[in-house]
Amino acid sequence: MNKKLVIISAVCLALFGCATPQSEMDKFVDDLMSKMTVEEKIGQLNLPVAGDIVTGQAKSSNVSERIRKGEVGGLFNLKGADKIRDVQRIAVEESRLGIPILFGMDVIHGYETIFPIPLGLSCSWNMEAVEKSARIAAEEASADGICWTFSPMVDVSRDARWGRVSEGSGEDTYLGCRIAEAMVRGYQGPDKETQLTSNDQILACVKHFALYGAPEAGRDYSTVDMSRIRMYNEYFPPYKAAIDAGAGSVMASFNEIDGVPATGNHWLLTDVLRDQWNFDGFVVTDYTGIFEMIAHGVGDFESVSVQALKAGVDMDMVSEGFIVNVKNALDKGMLSMKDIDLACRRILEAKYRLGLFEDPYKFCRAEEAAKEVYCQEHRDIAREIASESFVLLKNEGVLPLKKKGTIGLIGPLADTRSNMPGTWSVAARLDVPKTLREGLADAVKGKAEVLYAKGSNLVSDFDLEMRSTMFGRELGRDNRTDAQLLNEALAVARRSDVIVAALGEASEMSGESSCRTEISIPDVQQKLLKALVATGKPVVLVLFNGRPITLNWEAENVPAILDVWFGGSETADAVADVLFGDVNPSGKLTMTFPKNVGQIPLYYAAKNTGRPLLEGRWFEKFRSNYLDVDNDPLYPFGYGLSYTTFEYSPVTLSAAEVAKGGSVKAEVTVTNTGKVAGKEVVQMYLQDVVGTTTRPVRELKGFEKIALEPGESKTVSFEITEELMSHYNSDLEFVAEPGEFKVFIGTDSRAKNEASFILK
């Protein structure tokens, strides 16, 4: 590291403490911008993709000349501290003003130590674990050159067809807020006053702003259309929670809002984000977001570039709309120098906050990266967190398994490394993770035998399998016939005492542009599973998936089902931990599992209609229901079993009435009535019974994950404040309206354990 830069940094910290005063940053940025040409200012707004730059060859890369000219504000998806140092050196030593550049990456659920996909991680309901996963991701990424992550994704989603549910935290607003806060703290630091002052803290980017998780038909990039009252009550809060936690950047979404693409939506990016929520970071587009406004039908390349800048976009990812169009637009009077200066200032301020002007190479710590990235300590934590994210959907006395006899491991997901990390694990080394086959064998070594057969391909259709196993996630399609594969599996099954069926989706069957109209286990795998069950041997379905799956036949016929999502780089060992009872499963669903795709969108916090179906009924003419299936989900939000059982006392309230501005305390006592220790997620839901606008039948407003030994009891309390009772009314005022409120506390969203109070 440059000694002069180290001295400057030390003096700065000594004089000003951990966080340099805002006035010092203003003075620095003012002075720098006074020296910049218009072209250099516009260059700060440009974010091209790095491409493959080999260490030591940065000077001859395609992007190097543009950096020298000051036409690049940042790069993304360049991996490796040495490569990044080479590129940063060009910016600092060979450009006119020596302005360092940002290096970003899709560090979504880990860097090289990969944690469960975000949907799986949310099922842990453990905010300490969520924050820890982001903290470790920041530690690894920052040592290896990355200072900016395009995470967290906080889009609320209630449509399992949409592939990117895997990248979010599920269907609930309140839980989504808590996870958003935890992720930002993990990336940027726990204290807002000192965030981004440490070498291992990186800039978070909240995405996708806004409403991206509600596309029509569950199809990625599709139109979103909803009322503003729904935006404010259900979809906006997690974005705001992340911003209130200190998130330094925001990514605009691909979809339109009120008929205007989010990338060029002034109401969204300025009126809401900056004026209402006081966001002071910078806004970046999603990949080619500006250029895509042309296809939306709102203008040509020049006009949409101007629209995006004036709306509040500060940095253009890949489109190069600003580089190509903004100078000409300025000369034509289509925008002002003030528009350019404002965006440029925000980018420079982010670099200042990150400390890049003091030490441009602070995130290039190759020796540290060699010790920290994918180290055993991080892997052990990832294994523990993965096991806590798995959801036990069914267990008829089969689990936990004994480490004895012969275990038949069958299925196309049983012997793959590259699929274990899950989608959006761009920095992962896909050839490193254990296969499930290896994980089980290691767990029972010397005690039991593990037999293996693939049993089937992923799907019957070759082209569909190729689309579902992109980016190095191939399963090695077997060219034998379906019958040959099945017969081999049945031979293994007949020799086994118990069968573990590793089935479901490949990792790239979910994620961006991986939407499905059928969300069941694929055809040939279903045939395999039915044949395995027909043997009469005990069968455990280990389900790999990046979304809720329809499991009607499986729920009725398979003795045990463990949903393991994609648990990250340590999936194999974590699955073994749970299957053999070394870890008691404690995950709870954060998205509702429908009975079939026709029920979608299906979520617990729905509103009643004027003709609701009466509880316990299936069909009644002239009521809101279906002819062919009931309204209930297969598995509700918040659901998850354990190897033990828990009993809840009745809900008690501290008061039957509460004055406006006051609060009421709700309590239950939870007892472990089983024979083994376990963890339970105690969930508190609230219903505003009568309002000036219609309200959901219930909403999650509190939760606590507790650990109990056999026979142990614990009292769990929730303080219901006026804020928790409040909602946005038709005038978009955040109010708590007087009247009756019901409180439900239990093990999932169907809890009938209730009490009520009156807000005066």
* Claim to verify: residue 340 and residue 393 sit in the same structural domain: no
In the chain, which stretches have pLDDT less than 50? 1-19
* Claim to verify: residue 335 and residue 385 sit in the same structural domain: no
Question: What is the distance between the alpha carbons of residues 522 and 460, in angstroms, rounded to a whole number?
Answer: 8
Evaluate whether 550 touches 481 at the Cβ level (below 8 Å): no
The residue written with tokens 């842990």 in the block is: 124
Instruction: Indicate whether 597 belongs to any domain.
Output: no
Instruction: Indicate whether 632 belongs to any domain.
Output: no
Q: Which residues of 113-142 are buried (b: 16+ CB within 10 A; e: fewer)?
A: bbbbbbbbbbbbbbbebbbbbbbbbbbbbb
DSSP class of 319: S
Evaluate whether 204 touches 183 at the Cβ level (below 8 Å): yes
Q: Report long-range pairs for 335-341 (Cβ below 8 Å, ≥24 apart).
A: 335/306, 335/309, 335/310, 337/38, 339/309, 339/310, 340/38, 340/41, 340/42, 340/45, 340/309, 341/33, 341/41
Residue 10: per-residue pLDDT: 37
The residue written with tokens 């024979």 in the block is: 675
Residue 61: per-residue pLDDT: 63
DSSP class of 318: S
Instruction: Indicate whether 620 belongs to any domain.
Output: no
Q: Which residues of 189-223 are buried (b: 16+ CB within 10 A; e: fewer)?
A: beeeeebbbbbbbbbbbbbbbbbbbbbeebebebe
Instruction: Indicate whether 563 belongs to any domain.
Output: yes
Containing structural domain, residue 724: 644-759
539 closest CA partner among 396, 388, 393: 396
Question: What is the distance between the alpha carbons of residues 358 and 155, in angstroms, rounded to a whole number?
Answer: 35
Instruction: Indicate whether 589 belongs to any domain.
Output: no
Instruction: Indicate whether 213 belongs to any domain.
Output: yes
Of 581, 596, 623, at which residue does a domain stop? 581
User: pLDDT tens, 128-172?
Assistant: 999 999 999 999 999 999 999 999 999 999 999 999 999 999 999
The two structure tokens encoding residue 668: 């239950």
Instruction: Indicate whether 225 belongs to any domain.
Output: yes
* Claim to verify: residue 353 and residue 389 sit in the same structural domain: no
DSSP 223-243: -----HHHIIIIISHHHHHHH
Residues labelled as active-site residues: 286
Residues in CB range of 349: below 8 A, 6 or more apart? 25, 29, 282
Of 581, 601, 619, at which residue does a domain stop? 581
Residue 195: per-residue pLDDT: 97
* Claim to verify: residue 389 and residue 355 sit in the same structural domain: no
Question: What is the distance between the alpha carbons of residues 136 and 372, in angstroms, rounded to a whole number?
Answer: 9
Residue 615: per-residue pLDDT: 84
Question: What is the distance between the alpha carbons of residues 609 and 625, in angstroms, rounded to a whole number?
Answer: 11
* Claim to verify: residue 139 and residue 177 sit in the same structural domain: yes
How many angstroms separate the Cα of 146 from the Cα of each of 191, 200, 712? 21, 10, 46
Residue 2: CB atoms within 10 A of its CB come to 12
* Claim to verify: residue 342 and residue 398 sit in the same structural domain: no
Residue 158: per-residue pLDDT: 98
Instruction: Indicate whether 561 belongs to any domain.
Output: yes
End-to-end CA distance of the chain: 63
- Phi/psi for 80 (5° steps) reads 115, 125
* Claim to verify: residue 279 and residue 188 sit in the same structural domain: yes
The residue written with tokens 């820890």 in the block is: 132
| CATH code for the domain in which residue 273 is found | 3.20.20.300
pTM recorded for the entire structure: 0.95
The two structure tokens encoding residue 305: 């570039």
* Claim to verify: residue 353 and residue 407 sit in the same structural domain: no
Burial label for 604, CB within 10 Å (0-12, 13-18, 19+), is buried
* Claim to verify: residue 327 and residue 363 sit in the same structural domain: yes
Q: In total, how many domains does the chain have?
A: 3
Residue 60: per-residue pLDDT: 55
* Claim to verify: residue 443 and residue 560 sit in the same structural domain: yes
Residue 59: per-residue pLDDT: 61
* Claim to verify: residue 506 and residue 565 sit in the same structural domain: yes
Residues in CB range of 10: below 8 A, 6 or more apart? none
Largest pairwise CA distance in the chain: 80
Look at the chain and count its residues: 760
Question: What is the distance between the alpha carbons of residues 293 and 613, in angstroms, rounded to a whole number?
Answer: 43
- Alpha helices by DSSP H, listed for 255-316, are 266, 289-296, 301-311
Residue 564: per-residue pLDDT: 98
Of 369, 389, 407, at which residue does a domain stop? 369
* Claim to verify: residue 326 and residue 408 sit in the same structural domain: no
User: pLDDT tens, 581-637?
Assistant: 999 999 999 999 999 999 999 999 999 999 999 888 889 999 999 999 999 999 999
| CATH code for the domain in which residue 713 is found | 2.60.40.10
588 closest CA partner among 617, 561, 557, 563: 563
